[in-house]
C-alpha cells in the first residue's frame, strides 16, 4: 500500500483530497469485479475514528480476501461537506472513472458518506446505474442495483440531508447563544486581532496598531468633511508610499459604516438562509440580530464615529451631491475649521 504523502498535521478548516491506487492493472474478461471504494471525512473529529489510512487498509484487506474482486482504487475527500458533490474532487474523479468503464462496483461506508443531498444522491446513483456500476452501502446493507431498494435509498438519503439541516440549525442556535453572552462567533474586523486567554472560554479583540492607523486616518478625513473619493485618493497615496495594497471605494465605505470601530458589534449582518445552496445574503430581518456595546476597545471615539455616520446618511460625503455639500459646509463652518487646523499643524 502506498503511504500517505508526508505533510504537516491537518488543521481545522483545511480541505484536502487523497487517492490510493492499487499497483496492479485492471483484470478484464475474467469475471472478477473491478472494485473502488469512496471515503469522505469532513471534520477532524470524524478523522479520529474514520481516518483515510484506516479505511484504505479496511477496504484493501476486505477486497484481497475476496477472489472475485480486484481493487481499482480508493478515493477520499477530507474536509468537504457531503451536501455539494461538485466540490469533492475525488468523488468527481470516481464518477468519471465509473463512466469511463474502469469500475464495476463501488463500496461506501454509508449513504451519508456518499451524499447528504437527497437530489444529488439519487442523480449520481442513476448515472452509475446507467453505466452498469453498482454502489453498495455497507452500514445500510443496500445495493443500488436492487430495484426494491430505490425507495429505501431515497428515505435514507433524505434522513442524511435532514441531519445536516438539523446540524445547521444547531450551529445557528449556538451562535445566537454565544452572541447573547457577549462573545459572537465572527472574525475580527480589520484593525483588530483575536486573542485567547488561558482558561477563558471567551475570545477577545485587541487593537492591531499598524492596521488601526489607516482606520483612524480615514475617519479623521471624514470628520474633516472630505468626500469618500478624496479620502480614498489620500489613503491610497499613503498606502502606495508604504508599499501596501490599495483600497477600493467599496471597502472604504464599508469601513466607515462599521460599528466595530466604535467598540461595538452587530451580529448576523449577513446570513445563510438556505443550508443547501449556502448563498449568503444581507440580513433584512430574516434572522434576529444582537447589538453588543463595548465589546472591545474602540479605534475611533464614539463621538467621531457617530458624527461620520450622520454625514454619510445625509449624503454630505458624496462628492456628486455638490448642492447638498455646499449647503452643509455653509451651515457647519466648524467642519472646515477642523480641516484648516489639521493642515496648519502638519
The CATH number of whichever domain residue 136 belongs to comes to 3.40.50.1390
Residue 203 lies in a domain: no
Q: Which residues of the chain are under the pLDDT cut of 70?
A: 1-30, 42-52, 79-85, 147-186, 201, 270-280, 283, 285-286, 341-346
Confidence at residue 46, expressed as pLDDT on a 0 to 100 scale? 43
Confidence at residue 278, expressed as pLDDT on a 0 to 100 scale? 55
Q: How far is CA 143 from CA 107, 137, 291, in A?
A: 10, 7, 52
252 and 153 in a common domain: no
Residue 188 lies in a domain: no
For CA atoms 86, 90, 93, 99, the dihedral sign is: negative
Residue 256 lies in a domain: yes
Nearest residue to 5 (alpha-carbon basis) of 25, 20, 15: 20
213 and 334 in a common domain: yes
Residue 244 lies in a domain: yes
Confidence at residue 321, expressed as pLDDT on a 0 to 100 scale? 85
For residue 182, which phi and psi values (nearest 5 degrees)? Answer: 90, 15
Q: How far is CA 314 from CA 290, 301, 328, 333, in A?
A: 26, 20, 9, 17
Confidence at residue 51, expressed as pLDDT on a 0 to 100 scale? 64
Average pLDDT, the chain: 77
331 and 250 in a common domain: yes
259 and 126 in a common domain: no
Q: Identify the helix (H) or strand (E) that includes residue 20.
A: strand 16-21
- In terms of DSSP bridges, do strands 69-78 and 192-196 run parallel, antiparallel, or are they unpaired? unpaired
Nearest residue to 226 (alpha-carbon basis) of 344, 331, 329: 329
Cα(262)–Cα(270) distance, integer angstroms:
20
Residue 180 lies in a domain: no
Confidence at residue 125, expressed as pLDDT on a 0 to 100 scale? 87
What is the SS3 assignment for 206? strand
56 and 119 in a common domain: yes
151 and 241 in a common domain: no
227 and 305 in a common domain: yes
Confidence at residue 44, expressed as pLDDT on a 0 to 100 scale? 46
Enclosing domain of residue 315: 209-345
216 and 316 in a common domain: yes
Residue 204 lies in a domain: no
Ramachandran bin of 82, using left for φ above 0, alpha for ψ from -120 to 50, beta for the remaining angles: alpha
Q: Distance of alpha carbon 186 from its chain centroid, rounded?
A: 12
131 and 45 in a common domain: yes
Cα(5)–Cα(12) distance, integer angstroms:
19
* Domain of residue 341, CATH code: 3.90.1750
Global pTM reads 0.49
Amino acid at each position: 500500500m502506498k503511504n500517505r504523502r508526508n505533510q504537516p498535521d491537518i488543521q481545522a478548516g483545511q480541505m484536502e483530497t487523497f487517492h490510493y491506487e492499487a499497483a496492479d492493472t485492471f483484470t478484464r474478461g475474467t469475471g472478477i469485479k473491478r472494485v473502488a471504494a469512496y471515503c469522505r471525512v469532513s471534520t477532524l473529529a470524524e478523522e479520529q475514528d474514520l481516518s483515510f489510512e484506516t479505511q484504505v487498509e479496511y477496504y484493501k484487506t476486505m477486497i484481497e480476501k475476496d477472489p472475485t474482486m480486484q481493487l481499482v482504487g480508493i478515493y477520499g475527500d477530507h474536509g468537504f461537506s457531503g451536501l455539494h458533490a461538485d466540490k469533492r474532487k475525488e468523488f468527481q474523479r470516481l464518477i468519471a472513472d465509473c463512466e469511463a468503464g474502469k469500475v464495476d462496483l463501488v463500496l461506501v461506508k454509508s449513504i451519508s458518506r456518499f451524499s447528504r443531498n437527497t437530489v444529488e444522491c439519487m442523480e449520481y446513483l442513476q448515472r452509475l446505474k446507467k453505466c452498469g456500476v453498482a454502489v453498495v452501502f455497507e452500514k445500510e446493507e443496500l445495493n443500488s442495483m436492487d430495484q426494491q431498494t430505490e425507495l429505501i435509498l431515497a428515505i435514507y438519503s433524505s434522513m442524511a440531508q435532514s441531519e445536516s439541516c438539523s446540524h445547521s440549525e444547531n450551529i445557528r442556535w449556538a451562535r445566537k447563544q454565544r452572541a447573547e453572552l457577549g462573545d459572537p462567533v465572527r472574525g475580527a474586523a480589520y484593525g483588530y486581532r483575536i486573542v485567547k486567554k488561558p482558561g477563558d472560554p471567551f475570545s477577545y479583540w485587541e487593537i492591531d496598531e499598524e492596521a488601526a492607523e489607516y482606520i483612524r486616518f480615514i475617519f479623521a478625513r471624514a470628520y474633516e468633511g472630505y468626500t469618500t473619493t478624496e479620502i480614498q485618493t489620500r489613503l491610497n497615496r499613503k498606502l502606495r508610499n508604504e508599499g501596501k495594497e490599495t483600497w477600493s471605494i467599496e471597502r472604504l465605505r464599508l469601513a466607515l459604516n462599521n460599528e466595530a470601530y466604535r467598540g461595538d458589534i452587530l451580529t448576523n449582518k449577513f446570513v445563510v438562509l438556505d443550508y443547501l445552496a449556502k448563498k449568503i445574503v444581507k440580513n433584512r430581518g430574516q434572522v434576529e440580530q444582537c447589538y453588543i456595546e463595548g465589546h472591545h476597545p474602540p479605534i475611533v471615539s464614539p463621538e467621531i464615529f457617530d458624527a461620520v455616520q450622520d454625514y454619510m446618511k445625509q449624503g454630505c460625503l458624496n462628492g456628486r451631491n455638490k448642492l447638498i455639500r455646499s449647503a452643509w459646509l455653509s451651515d457647519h463652518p466648524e467642519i472646515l475649521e477642523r480641516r484648516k487646523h489639521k493642515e496648519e499643524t502638519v
